[in-house]
Structures are given as structure tokens and as C-alpha cells.
Structure 1
Amino acid sequence: MSAAGVRARVRAEMTEEIKTVARRHLATDGANLSLRAVARDVGMASSAVYRYFASRDDLLTALIIEAYDAVGDTAEAAADQPAGGDADRFLALAHAVREWALADPHQWALIYGSPVPGYQAPQDTIGPATRVIFKIAAIVEAAYRAGQIAPGPEPTGRYAEELAAVAAQFGPDVPPRLIGAALSAYFQLIGAISAELFGQLNNSVDEDRRGFFEFQMRGAAAFIGLP
């Protein structure tokens, strides 16, 4: 391997080590990351971290993108299972996302919890952030094109115009109502998982939270009109 190749590999390994340590800090300190503290745990001078990440926000962005891509990979893989109909695909996606969140609640909190004070997400995060919602919309679109969702009244108002602009990304004949229903299902999914992770179900649903989640997601699928 050439000297340049060795340097690139060492840089990649150090970048991953910094991110690994930063994730541990997320678990203990939340999103209030300190590059100095991360550098200390990695075993390098704080000034050396800036050769890999120009600022705390750059490091946060890298972690946020990876978290969005991880949950996006999980959602897409679950929804692409061949068995079952479109409602089953949506439910599989929903349960997979919940299981990912339960396994790594700190990454969930990073991307779906309270905004990080002073942090402004760059454009780079938009694509990864929309993978789950676009997968839900794709399931809804497939069901619609297969004739499995009955036509219904279209919404009216300014928000309906905004939904129409989003629906146009999927084709000129996709009803805005369906995109609105897909968005509603997505936000219900995020809200249901966050309520569970952040303690909102305590002393109300304690023993069968998976069953309650299934109940909520079946309601979301019914609202969309998935058979």
C-alpha cells in the first residue's frame, strides 16, 4: 500500500474512533458534545481533533447523518420483505424502526429528540432524514397504483397546496390526500416511539407496549386506507 493509502486508512480509522467515543458521550451527556472531552477520551490533544472535524457541529452532523442512515436502512430492509401486503409492509417497517430505537435510544434522541441548542442542521442531513417517510410514501403509492386504496375526498386549504407539491414528486396523478396520510402515519410512528422511550407510557401501558404500538400503527394504516 502506498504512503498516501496508509495515511487515508489511518485517517479513516481515527475518524471512526472519534465518532465511537462521541456516541458514548451522547449516552452520558446527551447532545451536549464537547470536542475537548471527546479528544481526551480518544487520547489526543484537543487541537488535533480539528484535523478531523472542524467544529462540534461538524461532528454532530456526521453522527446525525449516520443515525438517520441507520434507521433508514432498517426501515427499508423491513419494508422490502416479500411476504404480505402493503399494510404488512408498513407494520414491518414500523416495528423495525421501534426496535432500532429501543436498542439505541441515544441515537433516537439525537435525531428525534429536542433540538440541540445552537445547532443548525445543514442540507447534507435532508436526504438521510427523509428516508423513512419516503419509504412509507412509496408503500402508500404502490398500494394506490395497485388499486388497493379507494379514492377519497381531497383536503382543501393552504396545507393542501403544500401536500400537492410533495405528491408531485411521486407522479402527476398521486392524490395529495395520500401523501398527507403518509405524513400523518410517519409522525404517529415517531410520536409513538418517542412517547415510549421518553417515559410517557409509564403507569399507563407497562406490560405490553409492543401490543399497544401495534394497535397504534394499525390505526395509522387504516387511516391511510391500506387493506
Structure 2
Amino acid sequence: MPDAVTPDDLDHAPMGVRARARTQLLADVSRIARKHLAESGAPGLSVRAIARELGLASSALYRYYPSRDALLTQLIVESYNELGDAVEIAEAACERADVAGRFRASAHAVRNWARSNPNEYSLIYGSPVPGYAAPQHTVDPATRVAAVLSSILADIDLDSLSLRLSRNLPASLQDQLDAMSGPLGGRIDQNVLLLGVTQWAKLFGMVSFELFGTFNTVFDDADALFAASLDLDLTALGVI
């Protein structure tokens, strides 16, 4: 394995070489941080320990990660973006008119990514890290999956909807749903959006129950349960 790039290398290298060296250094930090995440969890992350494994003084990394929280934020953003990439790629591979196929592909992409990256999934959807508050710039990466699901909901014909409330929604909930549909041009009916929000929450609840052991001894193989759950969602939306 090549020697780790040090910040001194960056200071004295030409600009192009410096940019590549910085990218390599940050990639090395991310790789080792993920290993530590798997071994000791998010609360155990330490810039000092990562620097030591890279053969650097801890001060050498503090210019990029001035605290554990800065490193944690980077891992969170990377994890949300990797999940977002997986879902967007899966959904984009489907025919636009195949609303059910797009929904299924997106849901399976969430589950597959979570099963392949359990530590990263736990970081973003598990228990909060004590003392850590996520900064504002984590919001956009965190909403990428919701944006894909919203784009699918926007293509659902209201007349096909199989499940809807028989009474008017509370005014406060209507306002919240309106705020959600605003960025999409208000194209999503409130009944559709309400179903979509609950299905979004259920999707991650199903994945979390499977990943964190809640289904153990009952649904140890959760493939059939997950598929049937999606069929229920799609039936309620009236697309199958």
C-alpha cells in the first residue's frame, strides 16, 4: 500500500498534484473512519485515532476535521449521498409510465443499500449520537430519497387511488402537506401525499426492523414480507 499523503505533501506540491493528493488524503480518512465506525460505532470516532493509523500527527488532520463532529458530518453526508445515488439510479432505469415499477425499484434500492452498508445506515437512521447536532448542510442529502418518492407520487392519477380518508384533514396537517407539495408545484393531491408520507416512514421502518433485529426469529428471511408490504402500498395507491 502506498504511503499516506501528508498535509506537508499538499503544501509543497503543484496545484494539480495538490488537489489529487488532498482527494487521496480525504479518501484515506473516510475509509479508516468507516472501519472505526464498524468497530466502535459513531460515538467512538476519533480524529486522533484516525491520524495515528495514517501515521500523521493529529494536528495534521484538524485543518480538515477540526472536531469529531466535523468528521461525523462528513460520513453522514457521504452516506446520504450514496443512498441517494442508489435510489436515483434504480428509479431512473424504469419506464416513466411504470409508476409501480419505479416505486418498487426505489424501495428495493433502499433495502439493498442498507443491507450492504449496515453501519452507514445505522449512522443516518439509527439512534442519535449523544451530543451531536447535524448542521444544515446535511438536509439536502438527507431528502434525496424523499424527493424521488415525491416525483413518483406526482405521477399518480388521483382517480385510481384505492385508499383515502373519509373526512377532511385537520387544517394544521393540510398546511404541512401543502408545504411539502409546494416544491413540486403543488401537483400532488393531499390524499396521495398523505399515503406517500406514511409509506416513506413505513419503508424505513421495515428496513430498520430487519437490520436492527426486530424481526429476528419471526421474519429471519424478510424478502416475502418486504415484497408483500410493497404490494399493499401500491394497491393503496391504486397502481396495481
Same fold, TM exceeding 0.5?
Answer: yes
Deviation at 1:87, TM superposition (A): 1.2
Deviation at 1:23, TM superposition (A): 0.5
Match of 1:165 in 2: 179
Deviation at 1:173, TM superposition (A): 4.4
* Gaps in structure 1 of 5+ consecutive residues: none
1:193–1:150 distance in 2 versus 1, CA, 3 Å: closer
1:201 matched to 2:212? The reply is no
1:52–1:199 distance in 2 versus 1, CA, 3 Å: same
Once residues 164 and 225 of structure 2 are traced to their aligned partners in structure 1, the CA distance between those partners, rounded to angstroms, is: 28
1:110 matched to 2:120? The reply is no
Match of 1:128 in 2: 141
Pick from 62, 66, 76: which aligns with 2:78? 66
Match of 1:23 in 2: 34
Once residues 149 and 24 of structure 2 are traced to their aligned partners in structure 1, the CA distance between those partners, rounded to angstroms, is: 35
Deviations 1:139-196 (A, max 9, x none): 0101238x65479555234222211111122123432222222111111110000000
Corresponding pairs, count: 224
1:141 matched to 2:154? The reply is yes
- Equivalent pairs: percent with the same residue? 39
Match of 2:88 in 1: 76
* Gaps in structure 2 of 5+ consecutive residues: 1-12
Return the structure number with greater relative CO, CA threshold 8 A, min gap 6: 1
1:179 matched to 2:190? The reply is no
1:204–1:167 distance in 2 versus 1, CA, 3 Å: same
Stretch deviating more after TM superposition (38-47 or 216-225): 216-225
Could you tell me the TM-score, scaled by structure 2's length? 0.86
Deviation at 1:68, TM superposition (A): 0.5
Once residues 186 and 108 of structure 2 are traced to their aligned partners in structure 1, the CA distance between those partners, rounded to angstroms, is: 31
Q: Which one has the largest radius of gyration?
A: 2
SS of 1:155's equivalent in the other structure is: coil
1:46 matched to 2:61? The reply is no
1:35 matched to 2:39? The reply is no
Alignment RMSD (CA, Å): 2.0
Deviations 1:6-47 (A, max 9, x none): 222211111110111001011111111111111111221111
Match of 1:96 in 2: 109
